Amino acid sequence: MQEQPATTLTSSTVHEGRVFTVVRDRVQLPNGRQTTMDVIRHPASVVLIPMLDPTHVVLVRQYRYSIDRWIWELPAGTLEPDENVEAATRRECQEETGYTPGTVVRVGAFYPTPGYCDELMLFFRLTDLSTPLTPLQQDEDEILEPRVFPIKDARLLVRSEDVMDMKTVLGLSLMSRELD
């Protein structure tokens, strides 16, 4: 069975912001029905799993305005236009954790919310971490506190709801598959 894509009949920009754009599309679905779809267009992002050693991971404590709370997360960041994925991974690691990775290995790619957003999250395991001679500045809207956790303690943060974002839960799950 060949899968047919939807056909975009009209498209208009509802909102254009610094991080994402919202569009409203009138589409004809593969079954022939027409409907209106609101979609968040977001550049791809990199999610980092920085491993200080095989049993320790670096998480960052970060304030998230949208939920008005501090949570522990895997470091992550949006790709800049025309930025090389590995270069973005290395840049984000240094900005958010203070470490430079020697080895970068892609471990997966996932859409976190494909019902309304086209962001693709690319997950990378980073090893052979070292401290750079010149640290990079954090983004203006970030308040980050990096910390090294034993992986078993990072998993406990999920149970205690100190880790509340799906990318971190998924990233820790990906690591447990590799370690088990």
69: CATH: 3.90.79.10
Label residue 17 exposed, middle or buried (CB < 10 Å: 0-12, 13-18, 19+). exposed
- Is residue 111 domain-resident? yes
Do residues 21 and 70 both lie within one domain? no
Q: What does pTM read for this prediction?
A: 0.89
Q: Which helix (H) or strand (E) holds 79?
A: none
pLDDT of residue 52 exceeding 50: yes
In a domain, 1, yes or no: no
Write out pLDDT tens, residues 67-86: 999 999 999 999 999 999 99
Q: What pLDDT is attached to residue 28?
A: 96
Residues paired with residue 124 on neighbouring β-strands, in sequence order: 48, 106
Q: HSE of 23 in the Cβ direction (CA atoms, 13 Å)? A: 13
Q: Is the dihedral of CA 162, 166, 169, 172 positive or negative?
A: negative
Q: 29 in a domain, yes or no?
A: yes
Residues 161 and 76 in one domain: yes
Whether 86 and 111 share a structural domain: yes
pLDDT at 16 over 60: yes
Residues 28 and 61 occupy one common structural domain: no
**Is the domain of 98 the same as that of 167?**
yes
Q: Which domain holds residue 59?
A: 45-179
